[in-house]
Amino acid sequence: MSDDSEKFQGTGRFSSPPCLAAEIAPDYFDPLAVDPEQARDVARWRKAERVRLGKARASMSVEERSAATGMLTECVRTALYDRCCDVRGVVLSFYWPIRGEPDLRPLMRELHGAGMNIVLPVVETRAAPLVFRLWTPETRMLRDQWQIPVPPPDAPGLVPEIVLAPLVGWTDNGYRLGNGGGYFDRTLAALTPRPLLIGIGFESARLPTIYPQPHDIPLDLILTEAGERCNHTNE
């Protein structure tokens, strides 16, 4: 609490108490703002959708996956170069693919070679924002609690300007279904300035809705093998 509010408490000088909204942590999310029964239903539906979409992704044929990954790679490269006059020094958060996520690691290496600072997301603390550790081709990766390869704790931490977020599901209006930890939403709520958030997924993961909740932050751009599927960057 600020000194002023303590000084003026109970003096009767103000008709209403001083506004303390600025003292709320930027990543604070009020669970009381949500109807618990509705939130439970949505969580249950999302869990089932993650399983369904995960199976669909796992059943893509080798040819289908390879063709889609090639087109996605091209699309991500173009989107990044279109948005950065000079990619050198730009801090870009990539992801190390798990569970059949699009594997864009050749592009990650290429962009590192072009001078971008590549970072990878790490869950250091459960139910907290992600941290981002620098990756280079020489980095000796460790595995986290989900067996996701991550750079070691002594890798430098950097704040990304652009974040590539893998999609389990996505909607035309830019909402993302992820792996269910709420990590990207928590991270975006905490980062200022907010990075450009680009969702990366396959066309087959398109959903009519994810039943958006107050914590869900829409993506700026969604890229699939079919190209730009949702673009809020010119609004």
Ligand X SMILES: Nc1ncnc2c1ncn2[C@@H]1O[C@H](COP(=O)(O)OP(=O)(O)OP(=O)(O)O)[C@@H](O)[C@H]1O
Using CB under 6 A as the criterion, which residues of the chain lie in contact with ligand X when the complex forms?
27, 29, 46, 177-186, 189, 215-216
Strand, helix or coil at 54?
helix
121 binds, among ligand FFO, ligand X, none (CB under 5 to 8 A by kind): ligand FFO
DSSP state of 91: E
- CA dist., res. 79 & res. 5, Å (int): 48
- CA dist., res. 87 & res. 126, Å (int): 32
Q: Which stretch binds ligand FFO (CB under 6 A): 17-25, 134-142, 178-186, 194-202?
A: 178-186
Answer yes or no whether residue 157 interacts with ligand FFO by CB under 6 A: no
Answer yes or no whether residue 149 interacts with ligand FFO by CB under 6 A: no
**Considering only residues 94, 132, 175, 183, which one is a binding residue for ligand FFO as defined by CB under 6 A?**
183
- CA dist., res. 96 & res. 234, Å (int): 29
Cβ(120)–Cβ(93) below 8 Å: yes
- Burial status of residue 84 (CB atoms within 10 A of its CB: 0-12, 13-18, 19 or more): middle
DSSP state of 17: P
Answer yes or no whether residue 146 interacts with ligand FFO by CB under 6 A: yes
Beta carbon of residue 157, minimum distance to ligand FFO (angstroms, whole number): 14
Strand, helix or coil at 65?
helix
Q: Which residues, 6 or more positions from 139, have their beta carbon under 8 angstroms from its beta carbon?
A: 151, 152, 155
177 binds, among ligand FFO, ligand X, none (CB under 5 to 8 A by kind): ligand X
Q: Which stretch binds ligand FFO (CB under 6 A): 24-32, 91-99, 191-199, 215-223?
A: 91-99
Answer yes or no whether residue 50 interacts with ligand FFO by CB under 6 A: yes
Answer yes or no whether residue 202 interacts with ligand FFO by CB under 6 A: no
Q: Which stretch binds ligand FFO (CB under 6 A): 11-19, 74-82, 103-111, 172-180?
A: 172-180
- CA dist., res. 92 & res. 218, Å (int): 19
Beta carbon of residue 115, minimum distance to ligand X (angstroms, whole number): 29
229 binds, among ligand FFO, ligand X, none (CB under 5 to 8 A by kind): none
Cβ(102)–Cβ(168) below 8 Å: no
- The footprint of ligand FFO (CB under 6 A) covers 47, 50, 95-98, 101, 121, 123, 130, 146, 148, 166, 178-181, 183-184
